[in-house]
Amino acid sequence: MALKLPTKLRVAPQGRLTGSLDVPGSKSLTNRALPLAALAVGTTTITGALVAEDSAVMLRALQQLGVSLDAMGETVVVRGAGGPLPARSATLDVRLSGTALRFLTAVLAAGRGEYVLDGNARMRERPIGDLLDALRQLGAAAESAGGRPPVTLRADGLSGGSVTVRGGVSSQFLSGLLMAAPLAEGPLTIAVEGELLSRPFVDMTLDVMAHFGVAVRRDGYRRFEVTPGTYRARDYRVEGDAMAAGYFWAAAAVTGGSVRVRNLGDGTLQGDARLAGVLAEMGCDVAWARDSVTVAGPRRLRGGEFDLNDMPDQAQTLAVVGLFADSPVHVANVGNLRVKETDRLHAMAVELTRLGARVEEGDDSLTVWPLASEPTTPVELETYGDHRMAMALAVAGARLPNVVIKDPACVNKTYPRFFDDFLGLLGAGLS
């Protein structure tokens, strides 16, 4: 349930961030499990699902596409269509959900009908051209203006054969193709051109597909072979979101506190969980267990150079941690952050500079120098309507006085109760 938040929220340090919590269910896993359950034969019960705007967008779209489901908080019962989604026409508003746009475009192309997929103003700036190029190779009539939404799709099934998709913009293009591939008329081979970004997300896609009964042959991250098959209903438990966990681990790191996330463990495939390992390199104590991860901050954090290509969304969080290290933190190989909910590299450079930091913005990197002094007057930080900007910048407020987050309600996209949980562990709370 989303809390009513003010237009500006002061995040004041109260001491060490300490405690334990369950974070919301993984957005990435929720928005993979839902469409696959919808394509499956039989009824699936998904538990631990994310309850937030991104998952609500996916649920609403699936219902518009003729899928019968019941959503009861973190539990969703999906009665699968046993093949392509039933509706032969629909106009879908996916708002700012990249997973909904890209996964549903691919899945709908494997069926038959005419569809329009659109979103808000920022979504109309986000790329989808590489996916549409791949779908056209397989027989779909897919159009957009300049490779951006809205997407107009006239689907008549996918032909099978072979297709090439670029890997350098978003791994979601490949994930969408993989999810749709079992519905193709014949075996499908997907080749990846160039370096594939965010590889763990593809591993997650393949794991959820296998859970629903479809195995994929692969040659590393270069080539994937999928034979026609049927997804089979099977109950699915969504683990905690590693991105969400990262804000709490980072806050523990910068305040010298200790946080245990209870619904995420050492078996996770989420690439974002590697942030705990990066924090360990910086001096934190990290304890992994089957169902939990605990991060405890050191007396002094070490700087360093970190390639975050496999978990680019954690770059904002790590950049904030860099304010409190003993030497610069260089975050590299994260150029695709420029085509997210906002240009996250530029936005983070601007906002950390507002706090008085020295920041160097590269084409695909950020370097943050340790903060020389604390702000002595209130500093209002822009969030650009981006949930991850708001949550990452809150980490700065856990340590620094005078941090004010503008438009904190943008966290409703993936973590509506974030500030309640975050301030609660700081010993503050919403006022």
Q: Would you please indicate which residues are annotated as catalytic (active-site) residues?
A: 313
Question: Token digits for 242?
Answer: 């590693």
